Chain A
Amino acid sequence: MEPIIQINHLSKAFGSHVVLKDIDFAVNKGDVTCIIGASGSGKSTLLRCINLLETPTSGEILFHGQNILDRGTNPSKYRAKVGMVFQSFNLFHNMSVLENCMIGMTKVLHKDPEEARQIAMHYLEKVGMAPYINAKPRQLSGGQKQRVAIARALAMEPEVLLFDEPTSALDPQMVGEVLSIIRDLAKEGLTMMIVTHEMAFAHAVSSHVVFMADGVICEEGTAEQIFEHPQNSRTQEFLSRFSR
């Protein structure tokens, strides 16, 4: 089966600072890929390259076999199929919760407002935020904002959903509510790539784990391989910090 996303020799430099070096890997349908690694190892940059928020310096990103870095591809159309959830939520401050979830469907997918409303309500219920449709983002807690951001991304019905440290900006008691939603999505078979520092969560949900250090993939494999039998000494050293 052809992977949804195939990354070949991807590199990214900010000026002379090389952040990603010759990254290769694939995401198949239904995969839950967790990307772990130390701070500054390039995890966020990798996700941002995949969503074209950063332009890679070289290499290719194939989406269903089509290189999205080719001149001809339309980044907006591609992004509508590959959603992203950010550490800082990035909800639109000028819109209510419901409008946040509807705007992409009405303006990008050109769905009619009533249909968009039904779909938005469906996903807001799923994340437990349906009672808050009239609230503005600034009136919500961090965990609630992130749940709305997830509903907004889901409402676009993307093929792949990227998460960049979805719980890092949250108070400890709110981390659980967000992670359990992601876990439910994993059970439903949604294809996801998740950058996280929550090792227990990564161990539990991922079908595939990528360990990054200094802009390269040091080791990758199943959750069991990486978390229980890491081969690379850097992986072992990184994980030992969490087992204490």
Chain B
Amino acid sequence: MLPQSFWGRILFLLNEYGTSLIKGAGVTMVIAIVCTFFGCIIGFGVGIVQTIPLDRKKQPFHWFLLRAVQLLLSAYVEIFRGTPMMVQAMFIFYGAAALFNINMSMWTAALFIVSINTGAYMAESVRGGILSIDAGQTEGAKAIGMTHFQTMLYIILPQALRNIMPQIGNNLIINIKDTCVLSVIGTVELYYTTRGIAGTYYTYFEAFTITMVIYFILTFCCSRILRMLENRMDGPVNYELVMQDPLVAGTGTYRFNEKKHQQFNDQNIDTREGGR
């Protein structure tokens, strides 16, 4: 009943189990994307709190409170970065049932575990991303009267977000691959599905060949899409010089032209220095 050739068996498995594999891949992608998203939100929250500057002398009480919160958040980051996600999954899934009598559904547990895990990693990336922005940006913002909150929101975080886009992409790809450890708590994602299929006919090699390819296609597409997104965020390489009445939007825009640009500059310097 099972075809003799390797390719024949592959085709047979695809034919027979194509839909379950697609379903499994779908579950994997949903968990990876949703958890990367929530992980980023957690990461930004933690990273922002970790970088709040407070003057100990001016606001001793707030300072103390903030330090306490920061310490807790550091503990969270260290614990979740420092233990394997598979162990965390077992610990949380069975711990919730044993200690708090909470029976998490497979989905809740999966989303919860991968999100807080990603959050722990993203927290460090965001903190690094915020600290890597030149102090001059903060000073420029302060000098026009922005508060710390406004400076963060309009100046620092947009730049930090752009800088850590590669890490967000990295986390998404890691999540696509690492959801397979959720099979220990019974999440029916791509790996779990494949193991089931492989076991039915003892076609381990063929089944996992298919799954290798699927995983690779998923991660490859994601990394390309993210790269496109990064380019989009960088905006156009050129800009348009607005030569005519600049108060009327949309009129008199010319494409940026290196030569004209230079001429304009020279002319400008000439007239300005003429006054000296």
Contacts and interface: CB of A to CB of B under 8 A. Distances in A.
Interface of A: 51, 53, 55, 71, 75-81, 83-84, 86, 88-94, 96, 103-104, 107-109, 118, 121, 124-125, 128, 130-136, 139, 141, 143-144, 149, 152-153, 156, 173-174, 176-177, 180-181, 183
A46 to B, nearest CB: 15
Given A53-B142, A83-B144, A125 B246 contact: yes
Contact of B272 (A94, A131, A156, A176): A176
Contacts of B155: 92, 94
Contacts of A143: 269
Contacts of A107: 146, 150, 154
B140 A86 contact: yes
B240 A94 contact: no
Contacts of B139: 53, 84, 86, 90
A177 B267 CA distance: 11
A132 B242 CA distance: 7
A122 B209 CA distance: 65
B239 interface: yes
Contact of B58 (A71, A93, A139): A71
A232 B243 CA distance: 52
A26 to B, nearest CB: 22
A124 B162 CA distance: 28
Given A125-B246, A134-B239, A92 B275 contact: no
Given A71-B58, A92-B137, A136-B235, A177 B272 contact: yes
B42 to A, nearest CB: 23
Given A53-B139, A143-B269, A176-B269, 5 more contacts: A76-B146, A83-B143, A108-B146, A131-B241, A180-B272
B272 A86 contact: no
Interface string B232-254: 00010001111100110000010
B167 interface: no
Interface string B261-276: 0001100110011011
Given A177-B268, A177-B272, A133 B242 contact: yes
Given A94-B155, A136-B235, A176-B269, A51 B143 contact: yes
B136 to A, nearest CB: 4
Contacts of A149: 140
18 contacts: A77-B145, A84-B139, A90-B143, A108-B150, A124-B246, A128-B272, A130-B246, A131-B243, A131-B246, A132-B241, A132-B242, A133-B242, A135-B239, A152-B144, A176-B276, A177-B268, A180-B275, A181-B272
B74 interface: no
- For the complex of A and B, the 3 pairs showing the least CB-CB separation, nearest first, are A80-B145, A90-B140, A104-B144
Nearest to B271: A128
B136 A88 contact: yes
A178 to B, nearest CB: 9
A56 B124 CA distance: 33
B51 interface: no
Interface in B218-241: 235, 239-241
Contacts of A174: 269
Contacts of A141: 265
B144 A156 contact: yes
A28 B169 CA distance: 55
